[in-house]
Structure 1
Amino acid sequence: MSIYSDRLAALRQQLAAQGLDGFVVPLTDEHMSEYVGSYAHRLAWLTGFEGSAGSAAVLADKAAMFTDGRYTLQVRQQVDAADWSYQSVPETNVTDWLKAEAPAGARIGYDPWLHRKDWVERTRQVLKDKNAELVAVEANPIDAVWSDRPDRSKAALIVHPERFAGRSSADKRQAVADWLSEQGADAAVLAALDSIAWTFNLRGSDVSNTPVALAFALVHSDGTADLFVEGEKVTAEVRQHLGNGVRLHERAAFEAMLGELGGKTVAVDPERSVAAISEALEKAGAKIIALRDPTVLPRAIKNEAEIAGQRASQERDGAAMVRFLKWVEQTDGLDELKASDRLEAIRREDPTLKDLSFSSISAFGGNAASPHYHSTEKSNVPFRPGSLYLIDSGGQYEDGTTDITRTVAVGEPSEEMRERFTRVLQGHIAIDTAIFPKGTRGGQLDSFARRPLWEAGLDYAHGTGHGVGSFLSVHEGPQRIAPTGGAYAGGDEPLQAGMILSNEPGYYKEGEYGIRIENLVLVVPVEVAGADKELLGFETLTFAPIDRRLIMVDLLSPRERTWLNDYHAEVVRRIGPRLGAEDKAWLEEACAPL
């Protein structure tokens, strides 16, 4: 038996001891986070799956892993088919699988601090219909058998200076207070870690790749707030920064404080809060109004200080990428891990870098056909001529968050690779040059990127763009460029000036290669003579060469050729002065006009 088979067996024994016939294991934490601290990596510990999205369901005699199209290959490489069946989302989901597989009379456990209320209600009803029961556990059974589970981070909070934040914490809290008054509410629960970091102008290092601290908060209609965070994480500087308007409590006191809100009207975001929060408020007799976290939209619409920081950090990051791409082209004997380690080392020469913004996707050949592949010692492969290398990476700088993907030829690429790379580039250009009326949703733009691929009977199984934070989460809502239905739905938010998104169409041929071209873009007002509507478009923020060796020039329209030549000229103008003579000469050659 493998170590993961042993762990699954141990979990089943623990479930029996707790009187349960099954258990659901999501990949999240008490804050509905995408990236979680090591203490919350229960799914990876149990199954071996290292992707950033997925869930599992365990019964006494069977178990299932649920992942979407981004992880179709990865889940089969990392999770043992002898123990787990592979379930594809959205074709199925945990609730549907339990409906089909859980025996009548079964007691299925769930951790109320790891699931949304709507999931609990829907799953409870489905199980009730087949005479089974969904049972909230007081103690997560995985924690009982995970003997070396890491402790939560004890790292100190960090003050995020107003010169980068652009607004004071007091100003942000007052805006929430004004919103609460408009809604007739007394308080708002902030459970999302990036919302708390943004509201209080604080950052942390409790979660890999995302500069946040483990905390909960209540913001009240008088502009004051209660912040729940481990006391040992609060420095004198942080206390002074927060001032008298913020009352500090231990993180463990949060649930008890919810119990004291009886008779109050409390705004709770059902998407960003776990079921346990609503259950505690309901038990206390509070009136809950389900509304989106009031900091989400203001956080997404960057102010001038945040935009300036993003532009500056992107240029520094672009210089690091140029040095890396030159090194890749000129270095023999590379493999995926050597390459990603080198890029990280170059980035870390910048003293303003605080972390990577995610674990780099350094993927060669067939590994790049998995969009969210993560190279390990086991999966690492050497570069060989005649294929493609894809590097998707980014940095967390004190003034901005970056995310860039480049695909480069290693040796002589095939004509098919060049043709499909060019179609991906055409989709990228279509998004970058889009002009659209105010009020347009990201979902309305998504097909712009796919059309060149669709015309050849091709597509890609992920969204085209996600929001990006300001020294915060590299995946930030609510804005997205994505289909309005299916696994990658979420493109329903109207785009507004100040939002930052990625532009990253791709193509993936299973077992052979993957292609993606990603820049970040800023939504900006656009003036068009004679227009009778307010118009928006995109300002490119990311500057690094696009591999001309992979472009079929004859496929490009004159407008597309002009875009690429103009873009490369801007790369040289912005990044060239940040480089030494040899690196600059290489950049000028890489960006020569078509």
Structure 2
Amino acid sequence: MFQSFDAQSSPAQGPARLDDLRAQMQAAGVDAFLVPRADAHQGEYVAARDARLRWLTGFSGSAGFCVVLQDRAGVFIDGRYRVQVLAEVAACYTPVHWPEVQLADWLHDARPAGAVLGYDPWLHSVDEIAKLRTALPAWELRAVDNLVDRIWQDQPAPPDAPFTLQPLEFAGEDHAAKRARLAQALAADACLLTLPDSIAWLLNIRGSDIPRNPVPQGFAILHRTGAVTLFAHAGKADGITDHLGPDVTLRDMADFLPDLQEMTGAVQIDPKTCPDLLATRLAAAQILHAPDPCILPKACKNATEIAGARAAHDRDAVAMVRFLAWLDATSPQGGLSEIDVVRALESFRRATGALRDISFETICGSGPNAAIVHYRVSEASNRKLGQDALLLVDSGGQYQDGTTDITRTIAIGTPTATHRACYTRVLQGMIAISRIRFPRGLGGQHLDALARAPLWLAGMDYDHGTGHGVGSYLSVHEGPQGISRRSEVALQEGMILSNEPGYYRAGDFGIRIENLIVTIKAPPLPKADARDMLAFETLTSVPFDRRLIDVDLLTVAERDWIDRYHADTLATVGPRLDHASLAWLVAACAPL
């Protein structure tokens, strides 16, 4: 429910561990060594065994990497983590603003040509290493054993949880049909799959190898015939053999690399996600580069998955409304801490009787902690909820029919005029995305500015994307779709995304408002051109904090949208509530 920064990840451990790593670098004959936040499957999330970046540096963010030389060590982080990293890493590490500063440029300045950069080929993709070789032509890039593993004496064991099945009633398409459909479109004799969520989706299976993400760790080969070879550690797939059937062959993980070496013919890999090591083991095959064939079909949810998402969000909304009613009743009494709030929220979700897990570690920041975009409360950082301050709560649930993610910013006590003005501008940006109709073929990069425009007009902005894709009882962050300046993938029907603009004032407060939306074909308009247009349906039904809305800043259309949203929320959630929670919701959803 909350993070405890013990000796495994304490910044105090950083200097000694850095010295130990440098000794291993000398022994290996490398001048620099890369420590990414990655595992052999190249997904966003890692198991405890693979949390090398956090173990070495103390940095707990979900993206970033470290590069270590004998005289310096840089921790590369993007805009989401520039406040957080300062509190988590020791002074022996220098935070580097990435992607503004690229690794190759930093290394050019740090070390003369001819140096050796060591890397673990399991933890870096084919594309990543190829780009580094191009950017560092005077350096030698050398694949080596993982040097962090050499010094991590109490490194956790690999995950050993058994795989489970995702029934057809939630998946909406059996895995035989998926395998046949994707195999028919292959440009090669076989395709190597490394992403756990791709394998989970393709075979309608799930797991618990990654905290908060119901994915199974393994590798798979999809053959042109539609058959699949699934590689997993011994015993993990024993309970799903009947579900997999005769066209899915189970192999032990120890057989994976030898089997790759024996493959011939054309083999398709995704260079963005395939570990560099695996490409070198396909020496007898003709390697073709193409996107992971599961990624786009997985992103476009079928009718069953969308119905499940609606049901999951309605269920989750009941828990959220009960939580917000409790918070409004309890916070004036004083004494509540961030950890108290996290525990209470999870208890309301568990009371639904359907929660499998939370979908990520809850972000619950009061006052200045809310200005840390991906803040996770710990025993050390835990704050009491201050009066006349803002509380930002970003949370979600994993239900077998869907994955939820919602952020609400709540006034504790009386908000200031600045709080209300900033909150309203963030809300206006969220409404702009919610209302937009757009031509088919556009990507999230074309929509991102709509969410920022109200903030830009006031000289404000935020340093994260406006939205990410969301899985169906899978990862809460799912590609390839998104709403950001970098998201070029065309949006399609069935894609679920977050809609979450924000504003953060370091050392003072943070604001984020998030709903989940699903891409739909836009309803026809009278007298409109016959253009093929898309729109968004909002899945989340939880009220905004009316105390933070400056009505004078809203247009008539924005005010009407909020009133309709609140009326729909009351109609959807109200009948499922107890008397006290319903009374709170009626007041929260009153027309502006």
TM-score (norm 1): 0.95
Moved more, 85-94 or 119-128: 119-128
Residue type matched to 1:26 in 2?
Answer: P
CA distance in 1, matches of 2:104, 2:460: 32
Matches within 5 A, 1:475-490: 475-483=477-485, 489=486
Give the alignment partner of residue 164 of structure 2, picking from 158, 182, 190: 158
1:490-533: per-residue Cα shift (whole Å, max 9, x none)? x2111111111110011111110000110000111112233221
Match of 2:506 among 507, 510, 517: 510
After superposition, residues 223-372 of structure 1 pair within 5 angstroms as 223-236=226-239, 238-262=240-264, 264-281=265-282, 284-331=283-330, 332-372=334-374
For residue 486 of structure 1, what is the aligned residue in structure 2?
Answer: none
What is the CA distance between 1:88 and its match in structure 2? 0.2
What is the CA deviation profile of residues 356-398 of structure 1, one whole-angstrom value per residue up to 9, with x for unaligned ones? Answer: 1111110111111111111111111111111100000001111
Between Structure 1 and Structure 2, how many residues are aligned? 577
Q: Displacement, 1:104?
A: 4.0
Residue 133, structure 1, aligned to residue 132, structure 2? no
Asked if 2 retains the 8 angstrom alpha-carbon contact of 1:87 and 1:93, the reply is no
8 A contact 2:200–2:216 mirrored in 1: yes
1:519 corresponds to 2:501: no
Once residues 269 and 117 of structure 1 are traced to their aligned partners in structure 2, the CA distance between those partners, rounded to angstroms, is 8
Q: Cα RMSD over matched residues?
A: 1.2
Percentage identity across aligned positions?
48
Residue 293 (structure 1) shift: 0.7
Match status 1:452 vs 2:451: no
1:556 aligned partner: 554
The letter of the residue matching 1:27 is R
Equivalent of 1:206 in 206, 209, 227: 209
Question: What is the CA distance between 1:125 and its match in structure 2?
Answer: 4.1
Q: Secondary structure at the match of 2:162?
A: coil
Are 1:404 and 2:406 matched, yes or no? yes
Of 539, 558, 575, which aligns to 1:577? 575
**Contact preservation (8 Å) 2:41, 2:274:** yes
Distance in 1 (alpha carbons) for counterparts of 2:216 and 2:111: 38
Q: What's the secondary structure of 2:235's corresponding residue?
A: helix
Partner of 1:194: 197
Aligned equivalents of 2:113, 2:496: Cα separation in 1: 49
Q: Matched residues in 2 for 1:16 and 1:125: separation? A: 25
CA positional deviation for 1:126? 4.0
Out of 3, 19, 38, the residue aligned to residue 48 of structure 2 is 38
**Following TM superposition, by how much is the alpha carbon of 1:197 offset from its aligned partner in structure 2, in angstroms?**
0.3
- Give the aligned partner of residue 471 of structure 2: 469
> What's the counterpart of residue 532 of structure 1?
530
- Structure 2 residue ranges without an equivalent (≥5): 1-10
Q: SS of the counterpart of 2:117?
A: strand
SS at match of 1:515: strand
CA distance in structure 2 between the partners assigned to 1:287 and 1:98 by the alignment: 34
Contact 2:126 2:273 in 1 (8 A): no
- Residue pair 2:481, 2:490 contacting (<8 A) in 1 also: yes
For 2:367 and 2:354, locate their aligned partners in 1 and report how far apart those are by CA, in whole Å: 33
DSSP-derived class of the 2:71 partner: coil
Deviation at 1:13, TM superposition (A): 1.3
Which of these residues, 11, 19, 37, is aligned with residue 9 of structure 1?
19
Task: Give 3-state SS (helix, strand or coil) of 1:252's partner.
Answer: helix
Structure 1 residue 277, shift from structure 2 partner: 1.6
Return the match for 2:151 from 139, 145, 160: 145
Residue of structure 1 in register with 2:589 after alignment: 591
* Aligned with 1:424 (options 418, 422, 426): 426
Give 4+ residue runs of structure 1 displaced > 6 Å after superposition. Answer: none
Moved more, 89-98 or 219-228: 89-98
Residue 249 of structure 1, CA deviation: 0.6
> Contact between 1:99 and 1:126, CA under 8 Å: does it hold in 2?
no
- The whole-number CA distance in structure 1 between the counterparts of 2:378 and 2:301 is 36
1:468-500: per-residue Cα shift (whole Å, max 9, x none)?
0000011111111111xxxxx2x2111111111
Q: TM-score scaled to structure 2, two decimals? A: 0.96
AA aligned to 1:210 is N
Cα distance in 1, alignment partners of residues 159 and 182 from structure 2: 29
Aligned AA for 2:208?
A: S
Corresponding residue for 1:172? 178
Distance 1:103 1:70 in 2: 31
Decide which of 121, 124, 134 is 1:112's aligned counterpart.
Answer: 121
Amino acid aligned to 1:481: I
Can you list the C-alpha shifts for 1:66-124, whole angstroms capped at 9, x where unaligned?
0000000000110112x011100111132322222134443221000111122212323
Q: How far off is 1:268 after superposition?
A: 0.7
Change (3 A) 1:104 1:535: closer
Distance (whole Å) between structure 2 residues aligned to residue 387 and residue 239 of structure 1: 54
Instruction: Give the match for residue 7 of structure 2.
Output: none
Q: Which residue of 2 aligns with 1:85?
A: 94
Contact 2:228 2:249 in 1 (8 A): yes
